[in-house]
Structure 1
Amino acid sequence: MSDASMNTSAPAQTGDAGFADFFALLKPRVMTLVVFTALAGLIAAPGGIHPVVGFAAILFIAVGGGASGALNMWWDADIDGIMKRTRRRPVPAGRIGPDEAFGFGMALAGFSVVMLGLATNLLAAGLLAFTIFFYVVIYSMWLKRSTPQNIVIGGAAGAFPPMIGWAAVTGGVAMESVLMFALIFMWTPPHFWALALFMKSDYDDAGVPMLTVTHGRRSTRAHVLVYTLLLAPVALGLGVTAIGGPVYMAVAVILNAMFLKGAWTVWRRNEEIAEGDGYRAEKKLFGLSLYYLFAHFGAIMLEAALAPFGLGGW
């Protein structure tokens, strides 16, 4: 095991951690996406759910997502301390000790899974438990430092929340929830590779085999385009299911056209051009990718909200 893969280099706890530091362990930005997509799955699911139970389900899914973030920060403290965008996180900065982060994450993981099972059903709890395991063990501990396909395979962890929300209502899995999973799964690679293209040497310095490091930036640009081409039919296919409709389809057509145009622009560029304008196209594509997912799942929820009035769906 390389030095980069040993997480014993994190600074010792300084004892001055506050609420904000423990909240940062939860990766609140990632948690926002988890909550939003899980809520979309819960609202779009047929049959409905009592508002109190639904609120509890989303709360426990959010806590489970936060547990994944805390355990990821515990494991990745060594490389987080090397990369510019992560070196100020609580563990590498020394505000929270590694053991404390691990205990905090494990406690939240156990609490969230048990409480979701009690509030809804065993399938939803099982999916949440598997999501936490997949993100921490399969992605963080194994894939992230061993293969350039880390983002491709590891993206499954971030794709489960709408399936969990759906299962919380129905107690099962359906084509619609699988397609919501697939939408996030196919979106993740171009989203992260666009980021990697303008983060320059961060992943290289940390010894993380991101595609930009192992296969070069030209290959990464091609991969961004290919995965964007594969993403579009998944997004449009979701629009013809029971949870789709004209609002969703309009959003999907417009945003996928924009995303394809952005990916095509990124693919055509070389490193000299990109450096010359400060990676403007790559940053634009990354920014668009953030709006892309929120807009698609927002449209799914809007279709569900309009359905009782006979305005949503086909």
Structure 2
Amino acid sequence: MKNFLIAFIVFLVWSFFGLWLYSWLQPEDEIAVNNTVKIDEASDTITKTDTELPLNTELPTEAGLDKDSLLLSEKIIDKEGHQGLKAVNEAGDIVLLFPKGITIYKNTDEISIPQEVIDFKYKINTYLVEHPDKELHISALYSATENFETPNFGIKRGNKLKEILTDVGIPSERIVIKPTIKEIDFSAANTYENGFSFSFKPLDEDRIESVRFRIPESKIVYPRFSNTGIMVNENLRNLLDEVKQIVAANPDTEIEVIGHTDNVGNGNDNYYLGLEYARQVRWYLVKKGNLDRKKIRAISKGEEDPIDTNQTVRGRNANRRIEIVFN
């Protein structure tokens, strides 16, 4: 009997050892963590939620984003909780997402656009071209702790961004500025990295009609430039129609035609080149629009007022422009 008990105990010990060894040699269950992004529209914040998925499970796609976009959305949330620049549709789904935000500065309307998101204006323009029934709303933040200004810094910052967007061809009437007051945690350098967000809303035809003939502050146009001067294109013809409508509705309107150039060549030569371009556009408006030439003045800023970098072809093309200012 004693020998039987000893043998039984030895059997149990080896059985447990064998089971442990077997489980130790087996591969662990293939489990991966899929970090997804959840948007709280009420607080306008982005949080991460962790769910366990088998490694062979397809990553989910949300709001039209592909897998790469979802991975990008994980990266834009840093350890301090900052979020990048995003645009959503009326349902709150993310349409565009960028790794960094646009920086604002306390007590000033200056803004700074990181190189990583510089293409946001072209992507927004493309979306609006593809969705003619939509308009863009710009949420521009400002804080009650900032100096009191009229209009407030939200409106001023929004107008700065609106100028950038209209410069790439987005009609100003399809851009709505929404100043948003919020407690802002400015950095020690008085900066905040997420001063703007975008949303696409259904086009408000009644609002557009109400501002159709309102005098705009300014307008950027890109005629066709050549070595021999300005060549008429659709942009210039559209400008002529708009100016005629504005002058017809507001006969006392005075107009400045300002020529801008890139920085290629001599600064003095660029000044006169800009002036020549402005004079040619002025002549076109007067002759083709039958407008009073005494109320249209041609001036030049040459290379002094760039709106983009002169280090790239695209930037130089953006800087070679005609600006129309209505007074």
Larger RCO, structure (CA 8 Å, separation 6 or more): 1
Higher helix share: 1
> What's the TM-score once normalised by structure 1's chain length?
0.27
Largest Rg, 1 or 2:
2
* Structure with more strand by fraction: 2
